[in-house]
Amino acid sequence: MRLNALRGVALAVALCLGVVAQVVSAQAMSMSDMLKQTGYNYTTHNATTWSIDLNRKHLGKVKVILSTGSDILVTFVIVAKKAAIQKTPQMMDALLTANHDYDYAKIGLDKDGDMFVRIDMPLHSVDPNELKQIIDQVANASDEVYAKVTRWVGQRNSVNTGAPAQPR
C-alpha cells in the first residue's frame, strides 16, 4: 500500500516536472529563434516587432506583422486601409460573417478604421510549429476575407502602405 502511494506521488511529480520543463523551454526560446524555425524569411523592426512578406492568391503580396507584449503574441494583417473602404451594411455583414467563420482569428476594423485579420495568443504557449500555423492562418484568412470584401475595398496596389485602392 505504501509502495503504491509512493509510486503515485512519483508519477505526479514526474508529470508536473514535464509540464514545467515544456513551459520553461517555450519561454526560453526567443521569437527570433522561433521565427527562424518556421522557415520564413522575416524582418526585425525592433525588439518586439517582426514582419513576414508572403504571397496569396487574392491579396498578392501580404505583410504578416508579429508583435509581442508582456505575455502576448499578436499576429495580424492589414487587409485594407480606411481610405479604401466603402462602409456599407453589406460589407459590415460580410465582416461579421467572416468573423464567425474562422476559429481563433479576429476580423474587423481597428481604431484607425483599417480592416484587419489577427490572432492573439499567450506567448508562453507558442512553439515554432504553432507559430508557423498562426502565421499561415492569418495570411490565409486575410486572403479569403479580402476575396469576400473586394467590391467594397477595391484592388490593392501596394502592401499595407495606406495607398488608396485602384478606381473601380
Q: Domain-by-domain residue ranges, the chain?
A: 30-153
Q: Which residues contact 144 (CB under 8 A, 6 or more apart)?
A: 58, 98
Region for 104 from its dihedrals, namely left if φ exceeds 0, alpha if ψ lies in -120 to 50, beta otherwise: left
**Per-residue confidence (pLDDT) for residue 63, from 0 to 100:** 97
CA distance 114 to 124: 29
How do residues 74-107 score in pLDDT, each as one tens digit?
999 999 999 999 999 999 999 999 999 998 999 9
**Per-residue confidence (pLDDT) for residue 23, from 0 to 100:** 46
Of 141, 154, 137, 139, nearest to 91 (Cα)? 154
Q: What one-letter code names the amino acid at 18?
A: G
**Per-residue confidence (pLDDT) for residue 24, from 0 to 100:** 41
Are 50 and 64 within 8 A, CB to CB? no
**Per-residue confidence (pLDDT) for residue 129, from 0 to 100:** 96
Q: Domain 30-153 adopts which CATH fold?
A: Yope Regulator; Chain: A, (3.30.1460)
Which grid coordinates belong to 52? 513576414
Which residue do the cell numbers 495607398 mark?
A: 163
**Per-residue confidence (pLDDT) for residue 18, from 0 to 100:** 52
How do residues 26-75 score in pLDDT, each as one tens digit?
445 899 999 999 999 999 999 999 999 999 999 999 999 999 998 999 99
